[in-house]
Amino acid sequence: MSDTDTAWIETALTSARPQAVGALLRYFRDLDTAEEAFQNACLRALKTWPQNGPPRDPAAWLIMVGRNVAIDEVRRTRKQQPLPEDDQAISDLDDAEGALAERLDGSHYRDDILRLMFICCHPQLPATQQIALALRIVSGLTVKQIARAFLVSDAAMEQRITRAKAKVAEAGTPFEAPGAIERSERLAGVAAMIYLIFNEGYSASGDTAEIRKPLCEEAIRLARLLLRLFQGEPEIMGLTALILLQHARSAARFASDGSLILLEDQNRSLWNGTMIAEGLALIDKAMRHRRSGPYQIQAAIAALHARAATPDETDWTQIDLLYGALEVVQPSPVVTLNRAVAVSKVRGPQAALELIEPLAPKLANYFHFYGVRGAFLMQLGRNDEARIAFDRAIALANTSAEAAHIRMHIDRLIRDSQPHGTNGGTRQGAKAK
């Protein structure tokens, strides 16, 4: 078998994984057993597919084989005597059996995949464990790959996933078919988890962006998968659009020295046009449903940036309104802070400053608050106060890129104490870089 063969089989296994593991989980009602059954089926696939060619329906094949192997395993241990190793009986699945398997599973596969994703975002699991678990059991990344993306040791990641699995087992998995309300609650939970995975990759700094990029790509793959299962859900369209539009800018977000490049300074020709097109198409579709929600609003904001060929063409009035809408459905000081940036463009830095002053107690430890505040003060020519805000921001910076970015402002303050900021470092919090 050639390496390319193996690579293609690996891809087929990856794409079949959520459905197959989801179905096996429904059969065995135990995550470890389901995963093991899937692993065994994969091993057989690697052995038999190169000879017989891949089956027409890899997922059905893997479900069938995984189930049979596991059942044989149980029989074998019960009888306390080894059965003859009979690969042929199981591997010779023809399409007739595949079709049967599909009939068994076709009606279930949506909820199977949703359930598999949903058990990863159990409310008792901290966000980092949710993400790690989802990447392991839904995406099928190896512990090593996940550890690398999270910049921790393999052992630490192994432990994190083991702990998460134990909690999931303890909490119990809901196997009854969900009702409409429950299904939409599960969808919301899974959407939030996918967004967490994306942000984990997106909030990387310049020196780790490349290592963490697979997290963004995987989040996009999962979002598209979820949307395939629930075609008519405007918030899932919004989520998918949002992460596509944000990821579309990835090639323009960091300078060669790893420092962050602000939205308004980015080379827009480096933005990925195909991803932007897909994001815009999804927003168009979502809007028709007239059922707004936080992901759709954030995606619409990202779209306004994406549609502007140059920073000057950005429709800040519309962005201000959209942040206003987001404040209503998802009130948070961070949203208000983002809105203030739009306000500064539309009504000037004084109005923006007044908007964020009341946020100070809530955002006392938030890097972006001081970065934005400093920028407004700088634009107003209140350089001493700006300097204090920037110093505070540096103290709170999470990444070297953030700190470097603020230092650039300070250098500018030192260089020229002009009372009018030019492209003042207005920034958009974590959302728009």
Partner 1 sequence: MLYAILCYHDEDFVGSWSKDQDEAVMKKLAVVQENLAKQGRLGPVARLLPTTAAATLRKEDPPLVLDGPYAETKEQLLGFYIVDCKNLDEALDVARDLGAANPGGAYEVRPVGVFRPGGNLT
288 binds partner 1 (CB under 8 A): yes
Q: Which of residues 203-222 bind partner 1 (CB under 8 A)?
A: 217, 221
362 binds partner 1 (CB under 8 A): no
The answer to whether the beta carbons of residues 21 and 34 sit under 8 Å apart is: yes
Enumerate the β-bridge partners of residue 260. Answer: 254
State the minimum distance, in angstroms, from the CB of residue 231 to partner 1: 4
12 binds partner 1 (CB under 8 A): yes
Q: Which of residues 255-284 bind partner 1 (CB under 8 A)?
A: 274, 277-278, 281-282
CA distance 345 to 313: 12
Instruction: Indicate the length of the chain as a whole number.
Output: 433
Select 54 or 258, whichever has its Cβ closest to partner 1.
54
**Positive or negative CA dihedral for 374, 379, 380, 384?**
positive
CA distance 20 to 417: 63
The answer to whether the beta carbons of residues 344 and 426 sit under 8 Å apart is: yes
State the minimum distance, in angstroms, from the CB of residue 291 to partner 1: 12
71 binds partner 1 (CB under 8 A): no
State the minimum distance, in angstroms, from the CB of residue 290 to partner 1: 13
The answer to whether the beta carbons of residues 421 and 378 sit under 8 Å apart is: yes
CA distance 198 to 242: 10
43 binds partner 1 (CB under 8 A): no
CA distance 22 to 172: 15
CA distance 387 to 86: 75
Question: At how many degrees (to 10) do helices 234-247 and 294-307 cross?
Answer: 40
Compose the 144-183 pattern: x for residues touching partner 1 by CB under 8 A, - for all others.
Answer: ----------------------------------------
Select 289 or 362, whichever has its Cβ closest to partner 1.
289
Of positions 40, 205, 240, 383, contacts partner 1 by CB under 8 A: 240
7 binds partner 1 (CB under 8 A): yes
CA distance 253 to 275: 15
340 binds partner 1 (CB under 8 A): no
Select 114 or 372, whichever has its Cβ closest to partner 1.
114
Residues forming the site for partner 1 (CB under 8 A): 7-8, 11-12, 14-16, 54, 56-58, 217, 221, 224-225, 227-228, 231-232, 237, 240, 274, 277-278, 281-282, 285, 288
